[in-house]
Amino acid sequence: MQIAFIGLGHMGGPMAVNLHKAGHSVKAFDLSQDALAKAKAEGLQIAASAQDAVQGAEAVISMLPASQHVEGLFLGKDGQGGLLQHIARGTLVIDSSTIAAATSQKVAKAAEAAGVAFIDAPVSGGTGGAIAGTLTFMVGGSEADLERARPLLEKMGANIFHAGSVGAGQTAKICNNMLLGILMIGTSEAMALGVANGLDPKVLAEIMRRSSGGNWALEKYNPYPGVHENAPASKGYAGGFGTDLMLKDLGLAQENAMAMKASTPLGGLARALYAAHSLGGHGGEDFSSVIKMVQKTE
């Protein structure tokens, strides 16, 4: 297929590369020249603009930072000049950004009016999953549109879930990331406490991983340096999933909780802690760097 891929960050870049390796013709665009250079080195076609990327595309995939970026891309300013005006009728749009469900629904409504199919398909699995092609997709949209997207999603992920209508994928994602943020803070506290008492971090991590405290962070993404060789913690907390991105997702969860009158006290506390961590100058570091807030400094 001829695919337009817009957004080539830590997640989008590897996802686009996997589609290219699967034999699809991928024309990519990003505002970052470094991201474009990396994509070109991997053999992807480079578009001069987002509008250029979608010319002749059978599917458009976007992976952008936040709601305002997705809305701005597809709808433009005040509903004018958006990318939907340049996408051919019948084209399938797959937005894998993590944004507000209401934004996905707004863009989907405009897409329908333009004769364009739209699904929201946020992902879980981190940069490692993006590179390995083992992401989990949480899809909101019609069953028919999901089936159109499935051959592409299968080249980027190992698990595909149909969460419901448009916006449901986003809701599932913010619930997942709220839990992830809470778990990472709890894992960080436990690791820091054990190490402060003289325990070997690798031994402690293995004990908890195989015990009732076991979770994904202990399995694959330990926040303590040196426990997992390929985790961001062992690379100076570079790459991975940024603190500010986690803060954004926790904010989306809290906005949704207020709208639904749902009680999420731990989610609210996690958001406050990540906000403080970001203000402390760690916004660009991987979210597992939150362990720095609870580590002894002596």
Contact call for residues 30 and 65 (beta carbons, < 8 A): no
CA angle (70 as vertex; 246, 56 as ends), nearest 5: 130
- Active-site residue numbers? 173
Residue with tokens 């340096």: 225
Q: What does DSSP say about strands 80-81 and 76-77: parallel, antiparallel, or unpaired?
A: antiparallel
Q: Tokens 């991983």 sit at which residue?
A: 209
- Assign residue 237 a region (left: φ > 0; alpha: ψ between -120 and 50; beta: otherwise): left
Say how far apart CA 244 and CA 281 lie, in whole Å. 10
Name residues whose C-beta falls within 8 Å of residue 187's C-beta, 6 or more positions apart in sequence. 208, 215, 217, 218, 222, 223
C-beta of residue 135 within 8 angstroms of C-beta of residue 15: yes
Indicate the DSSP class of residue 88. Answer: P
